[in-house]
Amino acid sequence: INSPAVEEALDIGEIDLGLLHPPLERPHLRQLPLPDEPMVLAMPVGHPLADLPLIDFADLAGEPLLTAPRSVGPVLFDKLIGTFRGAGVEPRIVQEATPVTTLAGLVAAGAGIGFVTQGVAHATRPGVEFREVVGAPGVPMALAWAPPDPTPTAQRFIDVVDAVWRRRQPHSAER
């Protein structure tokens, strides 16, 4: 489920809490910002890029690129395309796909390469390997809920996530 759909589900009360990618299209929703999640490159097993000791955006010139549609996450889409262009590379988008599991399936089938979050990479998929790319943008993350307050169960989850996040910070500071 993409972030706009999560926001809608929160608004109409279908869910109490959602994990999504800010900025929110519905600013009245409340949120707990989380650390950005790194993006990694998904490529078919055996792709020549996998042999490079270090991959940067210039190495991706001419590669067939699979992306989520801009409408699903315009800020992230623009950030990714801007990173390509900042490296002097015009991305060659050959197909848009959502959800990210579909994108990974297309990568496994050899349709192109694409960026996914590190969390997706940890879920592994046969036929796909994942590599870091120098300068790849992070994906903003947040927990969100409809005002005024989260349900008691959602609040307990928020408290746990917040505590874990704070413990992972080098110098926890009040936000």
| DSSP secondary structure, 74-98, as one string | HHHHHHHHHHHHHTT---EEEEE--
Reported pTM: 0.82
pLDDT digits (tens, 9 = 90+) for 89-145: 999 999 999 888 899 999 999 999 999 999 888 887 899 999 999 999 999 999 999
- Report the chain's mean pLDDT, rounded to a whole number: 92
Average pLDDT over residues 62-80: 92
Statement: residue 169 has pLDDT above 80: no
Is residue 173 over pLDDT 60? no
Tally DSSP H helices, then E strands, for the chain.
5, 7
Q: pLDDT at residue 9 above 90?
A: yes
Return the pLDDT at 170: 66
Residue 77 carries which side chain, given as an amino acid letter?
Answer: F
CB atoms within 10 A of CB 44: 18
Query: Strand 113-117 and strand 128-131: pairing?
Result: unpaired
Predicted local confidence at residue 171, as pLDDT: 56
10-31 confidence digits (pLDDT tens): 999 999 999 998 989 899 999 9
